[in-house]
Amino acid sequence: MQDIKVAVIGTKFMGRAHANAYRQARAFFSCPVRLSVSCGTNEKDTKEFAERFGFSRSITQWEEAATATDVDLVDICAPNDLHAPITLAAARAGKAVFCEKPLARTLKEAQEMLRTVEEAGVPHMICFNYRFFPALQLAKKLVLDGALGEIRQFHALYLQDWGLTPGLPLTWRFQREKSGSGALGDTAVHIVDLARFLVGEITEVTGMLSTFVRERRLPDGSGLGRVTVDDTAAFLARFQSGATGIFETSRVALGRKNFMHLEVNGSRGSIAWNAEEPNWLRFYSLDDPPHLRGFRQILVTEETHPYTKNWWPAGHILGYEHTFVHAVVELCRAFEEGRNPEPNFVDGVRAQAVLEAVLLSQGSQRWERVPH
Ligand code: SOE
């Protein structure tokens, strides 16, 4: 298969995570990907980024990165307000699109992105990277194999505290017109996707959003600006299956850096997972003899699990960056098999619909149905 020439738009946290992922996917999984174009806002920084990661060239206009002839795949690591315009330009130019989460700022915008990539007939993927921890792939297998029995409850906590960084300016993540929402779209979207991945579709929610830090220093130093998005989001959910869900996220939970805890309780078993110990899956089963019953900790590094054999011998653990590599591996496998990767823009729209219902319920103070 010909090399897939990649343009990565964005050179900050996600730009680095994605650029690194393509390099490692080629080195450890022989993925036919090549870093072709790096696109960032600052010419000097982008040139330096491109040299460090090994891109063929660097530019500052996303419109070129989305349509250039030396690009087959456009990887969007830019702020949320650019996800739609870049997707529309790339899809109409016949490029595949790999977009960071959340797919868009609103459900309407996400649906337009999905319609456009489907009309253009181009492959599309969204980077819900946490699915790609082998421990969560095992969690999904246990659920599908019926090892937990009937799934009754899903609990997810995703807490960070970078929102309390002293002097943090009013960046795009704090402005609704650029981000769409705050912690809801930034981190709750991950646990919504994992809920869909492990349990299924969510049909209704009731939510509560809060903003504790209401003003932040304007980046140009000219004073203070109002924060127009949530610092925290908490919501209850009902799943199509009848299961119930409890979700909470925060970017101001002092002391929590990237603390994500998931738990699924079924009629015959439970699983629990924590992003700070991502190689371990905790599993409780009624199938264990009574004297051996208790949450067992499974170190998910043996060759029987997805992706693990391409890395290290069992016990040599994986981390956050490997989830992005595995997402690129899934993208390349989909290309080779002529199918759409998973998760894709359909998953992005479904997650966006849940976010939209939570925002609606914040206003109505009532349960809201999740639009399909
Ligand atoms: C900030 O909350 C952030 O960088 C998210 O945007 C990422 O998706 C998450 O993986 C880490 O935290």
Render pLDDT for 21-57 as a digit per residue (tens, 0 to 9).
999 999 999 999 999 999 999 999 999 999 999 999 9
Nearest CA to ligand 1 atom 6: 186
* Ligand 1 atom nearest residue 320's Cα: 10
- Tell me if 258 CB under 6 Å of ligand 1: yes
So what's the pLDDT on residue 1?
78
So what's the pLDDT on residue 23?
98
Q: In what order do the strands lie in the sheet with 244-250?
A: 296-299, 280-285, 269-274, 259-266, 151-159, 244-250, 232-239, 202-210, 368-369
So what's the pLDDT on residue 329?
98
Nearest CA to ligand 1 atom 4: 13
Residues 6+ apart with CB under 8 A from 291: none
- Tell me if 249 CB under 6 Å of ligand 1: no
Q: Each residue of 222-231: b (16+ CB within 10 Å) or e? A: eeebebbbbb
Measured over the CA atoms of residue 295, residue 323, residue 356 and residue 176, the dihedral's sign is positive
So what's the pLDDT on residue 271?
98
What is the rounded CA–CA span in Å between residue 248 and residue 158?
6
Select from 186, 252, 259 the residue to mutate for testing ligand 1; criterion: most ligand atoms less than 8 Å from CB.
186
Q: In Å, how far are 7, 135, 136, 200, 357 from 62, measured between CA atoms?
A: 9, 36, 34, 35, 32
So what's the pLDDT on residue 333?
97
> Hey, what domains does the chain have and what are their CATH numbers?
4-122 (3.40.50.720), 131-317+325-330+350-364 (3.30.360.10)
* Ligand 1 atom nearest residue 251's Cα: 2
- Tell me if 320 CB under 6 Å of ligand 1: no
What is the rounded CA–CA span in Å between residue 109 and residue 128?
18
Measured over the CA atoms of residue 102, residue 103, residue 104 and residue 110, the dihedral's sign is negative
Residues of the chain scoring pLDDT < 70: none
Task: Kindly report the pTM of this predicted structure.
Answer: 0.98
- Are the C-beta atoms of residues 261 and 154 closer than 8 Å to each other? no
So what's the pLDDT on residue 372?
84
